[in-house]
C-alpha cells in the first residue's frame, strides 16, 4: 500500500489504526537496536540506514505487513525461528498482529549489523593488503640501481625471467609422421550447357465459348453426322435379312400380327437350332 506521504511520520499517520500500532512498535525496536540510524522514505516506505548502508525497511499491503532485512543471509541463518512466516529473499510477511515479536525482530537486526561490520572489516583488510603491496613495490624500486629504475616494469620482469634456469622439458612421445597425401586428380570440366531451343511463338488462345455455344456444339455435330449415318444404314443390308428384303421394325411386325409378340428372325433361328 504505497501512499503519497512526504515524510515517515505522515506515512504512519495515513495507515489504519491496527496496522499503525503494529508497525509503530516495530519502528521503536529498530530505533533502539540500530545506533545512529537514519529514517527516510524511499520507494514509498520507511527505510532505516546507518553510515555503512541500508539495514531494514517497513511496508504495509492490503493483506499483510512486511519487514525487510536487506541481507538475504540473515533470513537463511534464522530459518528455524522464521518457521510459519511467508518469507521472500529479504522480506518477512505476516498478517496477524503480534506474530512478529519484538525479540525476533531485534535478533534479525543484530545479525544484520554483525554481518555488515564483518563485511566492512574484510574490505579494510583487503585495502590495507593492497596498500602494503604497493609500498613494498615502491621500496624495491628505490633500492634498485638507476638503470633498472629507468627501465619499465615489463622489461624488468622479462630480464628476471631470462636469468632463471630453464625448467626441465617433459618427455614427450615423437609426433607421428604424417601420411603422404594422395594427389587428387583434376576434375574434368563440365560439358557446356546445350543452347536453348528457340522459343515457339505463342499461339493465340481460342476464344472461350459461351454457354449457348457449348450447348449447341454437340447438337450441331450430331446434325452433321446424321445424313452420313442414314446413308450407311440404307446402303448396308439388315442383319439376318435376305437379299432384297427390307428391314422392318419389331413394332411394325407386332401391328401386323395383331398385337402379339413377334420374335426376330435371328432369335427364331437360334430357337430351332436348340431343338
The answer to whether position 264 is within a domain reads: yes
Please indicate, yes or no, if residue 149 is contained in any of the structural domains.
Answer: no
**Does residue 190 belong to any structural domain of this protein?**
no
Residue 14: domain span: 8-118
Show which of 77, 92, 118 is a domain's final residue.
118
Q: Which pLDDT does position 136 carry in this prediction? A: 66
Boundary-marking domain end, from 118, 150, 179: 118
Of 59, 91, 118, the one marking the end of a domain is: 118
Residue 238, in any domain of the structure: no
CA angle, residues 51, 45, 28, in degrees to nearest 5: 65
Q: What is the pLDDT along the chain (275 residues), one digit of tens a residue?
A: 556 778 889 999 999 999 999 999 999 999 999 888 999 998 889 999 998 889 999 999 888 999 999 888 999 999 899 988 889 888 999 988 889 999 999 999 999 999 999 998 998 888 888 876 666 666 666 665 555 555 566 776 777 777 777 766 666 666 666 666 666 777 777 776 665 555 566 666 655 556 666 666 677 777 777 777 777 777 655 555 554 445 556 566 666 666 555 555 555 566 666 65
Q: What share of the chain is helix, strand, coil (3-state, %, to 5)?
A: 45, 10, 40
Give domain status of residue 18, yes or no: yes
**Spatial contact of 248 and 238, defined as CB atoms under 8 Å apart:** no
CA distances from 79 to 86, 89, 143 (A): 11, 12, 57
In a domain, 93, yes or no: yes
**27, 24, 1: which is closest to 13 by C-alpha?**
24
Q: Please give the pLDDT value at position 232.
A: 72
**For residues 5 and 107, what is the distance between their CA atoms, to the nearest angstrom?**
30
69 DSSP β-pair partners: 56
CA distances from 146 to 45, 136, 143, 149, 162 (A): 63, 18, 9, 5, 20
Distances from the Cα of 227 to the Cα of 53, 231, 235, 236, 249, angstroms: 117, 6, 12, 14, 20
In the chain the beta strands, taken as DSSP E runs, fall at 38-42, 45-50, 53-60, 65-69, 86-87, 91-94
In a domain, 65, yes or no: yes
How many domains are contained in the chain? 2
Q: What's 98's domain CATH number?
A: 3.90.1150.200
Task: Look at the alpha carbons of 14, 16, 19, 21 in this order and tell me if their dihedral is positive or negative.
Answer: positive
Q: Is the residue at 267 inside a domain?
A: yes
Amino acid at each position: 500500500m504505497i501512499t503519497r506521504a512526504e515524510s515517515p511520520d505522515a506515512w504512519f499517520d495515513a495507515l489504519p489504526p491496527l496496522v499503525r500500532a503494529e508497525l509503530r512498535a516495530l519502528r521503536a525496536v529498530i530505533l533502539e537496536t540500530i545506533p545512529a540510524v537514519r529514517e527516510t522514505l524511499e520507494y514509498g516506505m520507511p527505510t532505516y540506514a546507518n553510515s555503512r548502508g541500508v539495514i531494514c525497511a517497513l511496508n504495509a499491503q492490503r493483506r499483510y505487513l512486511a519487514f525487510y532485512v536487506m541481507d538475504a543471509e540473515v533470513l537463511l541463518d534464522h530459518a528455524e525461528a522464521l518457521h510459519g512466516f511467508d518469507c521472500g529473499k529479504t522480506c518477512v510477511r505476516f498478517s496477524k498482529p503480534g506474530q512478529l515479536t519484538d525479540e525476533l525482530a531485534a535478533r534479525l537486526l543484530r545479525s544484520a549489523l554483525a554481518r555488515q561490520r564483518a563485511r566492512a572489516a574484510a574490505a579494510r583488510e583487503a585495502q590495507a593488503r593492497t596498500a602494503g603491496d604497493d609500498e613494498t613495490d615502491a621500496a624495491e624500486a628505490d633500492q634498485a640501481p638507476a638503470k633498472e629504475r629507468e627501465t619499465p616494469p615489463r622489461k624488468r620482469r622479462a630480464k628476471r625471467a631470462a636469468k632463471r634456469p630453464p625448467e626441465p622439458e617433459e618427455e614427450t612421445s615423437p609426433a607421428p609422421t604424417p601420411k603422404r597425401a594422395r594427389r587428387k586428380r583434376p576434375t574434368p570440366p563440365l560439358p557446356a550447357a546445350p543452347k536453348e531451343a528457340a522459343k515457339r511463338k505463342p499461339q493465340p488462345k481460342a476464344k472461350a465459348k459461351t454457354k449457348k455455344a457449348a450447348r449447341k456444339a454437340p447438337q450441331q455435330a450430331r446434325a452433321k453426322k446424321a445424313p452420313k449415318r442414314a446413308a450407311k444404314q440404307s446402303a448396308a443390308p439388315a442383319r439376318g435379312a435376305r437379299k432384297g428384303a427390307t428391314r422392318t421394325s419389331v413394332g411394325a411386325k407386332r401391328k401386323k400380327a395383331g398385337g402379339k409378340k413377334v420374335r426376330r428372325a435371328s432369335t427364331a433361328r437360334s430357337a430351332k437350332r436348340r431343338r
